Amino acid sequence: TRDETVKFLEEYVFGIEKFHPKQIELIEEFCLGKNIYLSAHTGFGKSIIYQGIPWFFDCVNEQCLGVSTLIVVSPLISLMEDQVKYLKEKTPITAVAIHQKTENLDSVLDDV
């Protein structure tokens, strides 16, 4: 169910106490094919929205976790690298940053 999926993401994927209602609303809307937009202050948890989308989508569609892939485009290399580092250290999410300085690009793309 939706509530079980949310609880699973909170506890086992992100290790947080509770999503903001707006975070879940936006994740659900995106998974329904809607365009989403959020402008929020630093620390609100914007990143967790796009990080949670593939997991939520897989759970509600009863697919194996990790089947879906989400591509995030950012002009800031340091932000991409920080996000990948966080995801690798704190979550079971597989993530890579691809930019003009990426070494072994073919190998990285094979991993994705």
Q: Which candidate in 46, 88, 90, 101 is catalytic?
A: 46
Closest among 34, 21, 109, 29 to 69, alpha carbons compared:
109
Q: What gap in Å lies between CA 84 and CA 55, rounded to an integer?
A: 16
Rounded to 5 degrees, what are φ and ψ at 72?
-110, 130
How many CB atoms are located within 10 Å of the residue 49 CB?
22
Closest among 73, 79, 71, 57 to 13, alpha carbons compared:
57
Active site residue 46: yes
What are the catalytic residues?
A: 46
